[in-house]
Amino acid sequence: MKKPFEIIFDFPLADPDFIISLKATAELHHSDPYWVVDNFYSANKSSREHHSSILPRQEIKLMKNRGCRSWVHKDSERETVLSKALGKAIENVLNENGGN
């Protein structure tokens, strides 16, 4: 796996106007390229205040179909609000670091 890095993303809850900012750790799994994202915490808390992850571990991957790109869950290959938010956050970090 590639070296893990922190992502920060906004996630809308039931009401699209109620958004929380979260931090998580993303790591690339190379054998079948997908991302493992875990350790979800409030972006507004320090690492010392963390107890247990807000969300369970997520496995997402980028799918390309006829020029369209979408971030989907590895198991279902379906796009959700969460998979899109995680994928966008991963892309932001990779773009900031020159794709590394």
- Please give the model's pTM, rounded to 2 decimal places: 0.86
Mean pLDDT, residues 2-18 taken together? 87
In the sheet where 5-12 sits, what is the strand order? 5-12, 19-29, 34-42, 58-65, 68-73
Q: Is 17 helix (H, G, I), strand (E, B) or coil?
A: coil
Describe the chain by its helix, strand, coil percentages, rounded to 5.
Answer: 20, 40, 40
Report the distance separating Cα 67 and Cα 32, nearest Å: 21
Work out the pLDDT band at 51, boundaries 50, 70, 90: confident
77 has pLDDT over 70: yes
Work out the pLDDT band at 31, boundaries 50, 70, 90: confident
Angle, CA 34 vertex, CA 43 and CA 83 arms, to 5°: 45
Strands 34-42 and 5-12: unpaired
